[in-house]
Structure 1
């Protein structure tokens, strides 16, 4: 196990053990684009992490975990203070785990086993005894965990470059986007359906949800979120959030 600070560069592939665990609290951290030979489970106990993939934006809310398969190029950006646990699994242990990046619910059992795994030394034996059982439970919980819709596919069409360059700002309405890129609503709809599997309005709503969670997790108020995301009132924002997640913002972040 290693406790890291914001200036520590950690490469799990330098270690021979099949399981490597770390515990860290980082603030305003940007990993830069990278990949591992290993699979990674990244669990945020507190705070919010944005993960950028080749053609997707992924949000890791507090108290959830991101599963990142081996050899997946990604970049992790942590705003403010993020308290997290991370385990790196040899590729041979990942065969039955999800083949794509996903955000999963963290069960009480998974949360419990992550602590002793990240407390273990890098030369621990994972083939017998308590460690073998902890690892088996961890793999089973990852495999069976419910996934959350915290992925935003990114269109690659060059006409949308200006839209993707400003992903921290509320995407324009369809009518405004038509004028900005000089394409009809039908053309825009075809691009988004082909490249993201969503219509533009659905994509924009997914962006709003992910941005809402990011803002709330970094301490912004309901009123701030409602205004920043273009809602007419706090109650309209809460109704949108509940429609998208099944929970109010307070209940979602408190789970």
Structure 2
């Protein structure tokens, strides 16, 4: 059973089988920027994972699974404790579950199948028997899973290098003062590089952060305060507007 301690060496690109899975627990971890020859499915079984991709950031809570295509540079950051699962696919032998990087819904069935595959021995024969059936169900579920708007594009303009992506982004006027550019200029930059205006981008950032905090165990009151909402009800209304659901149902209603 491939349960790995943080110190155990593992290189998915050296595995002979087209599929390899691992399960592990990490505390305050920074993977550094790296890539694999294989595609990676990353799932936080418990806790929340921060992820950075070229020009994008994301949060991966336990109700989501991330697909990272082969040769895609990425960085995983964990600020607390996370129990996670990873499945690596040789896409020269297995058709990728989707095109491009994506955050997908984790259904109850997919969660159970994902658990079985991530604990399977490295020498499993995925071409026959139970293993082949598990893999087929996993891929079918992934290919029909809903894409979630949890990949936030990040502007690369040098004038925004002082924007702290770990803290609540300031209002537009305050950001203009901070970086020494007009609000109109910043609006053009965000539209050009992210496809949205600054206010929409800031609201999307708040949603990512809210999901991260909630999945990590923070209470609604704490999240509302950290994200600058005047009250719990204001935060819940914002969350419902962004996702169509209350925070509680969003985190627990689909698993």
Work out the CA distance in 2 between the residues paired with 1:189 and 1:96: 36
Work out the CA distance in 1 between the residues paired with 2:66 and 2:96: 16
2:23 and 2:118 in contact (8 A); partners too: yes
Match of 2:51 in 1: 51
Match of 1:225 in 2: 223
Equivalent in 165, 185, 196 of residue 198 of structure 1: 196
Aligned residue for 1:27, secondary structure, equals: strand
Output the TM-score relative to the length of structure 1.
0.94
1:97 and 1:143 in contact (8 A); partners too: yes
> Where in structure 1 do 4 or more consecutive aligned residues deviate above 4 Å?
none
1:46 and 1:63 in contact (8 A); partners too: no
1:69 and 1:101 in contact (8 A); partners too: yes
Match of 2:139 in 1: 139
Work out the CA distance in 2 between the residues paired with 1:51 and 1:161: 19
Match of 2:158 in 1: 158
Q: How far apart are residue 94 of structure 1 and its match?
A: 4.9
Work out the CA distance in 2 between the residues paired with 1:111 and 1:63: 9
Q: How far apart are residue 47 of structure 1 and its match?
A: 0.6
* 1:55-134 equivalence runs, <5 A: 55-134=55-134
Count of aligned positions: 253
Structure 1: which 5+ runs fail to align?
none
1:43 and 1:84 in contact (8 A); partners too: yes
Q: How far apart are residue 102 of structure 1 and its match?
A: 1.1
RMSD: 1.4
Structure 2: which 5+ runs fail to align?
none
Offset from partner CA, 1:170-222 (integer Å, 9 cap, x none): 11101111222222222111100110111100000001111111112222222
Work out the CA distance in 1 between the residues paired with 2:31 and 2:8: 10
Work out the CA distance in 1 between the residues paired with 2:7 and 2:29: 9
Q: How far apart are residue 7 of structure 1 and its match?
A: 2.9
Q: Does 1:237 align with 2:235?
A: yes
Q: How far apart are residue 63 of structure 1 and its match?
A: 2.5
Offset from partner CA, 1:11-36 (integer Å, 9 cap, x none): 11111110001111222122111111
1:241 and 1:247 in contact (8 A); partners too: yes
Q: How far apart are residue 112 of structure 1 and its match?
A: 2.0
Pick which of 109-118 and 154-163 moved more.
109-118
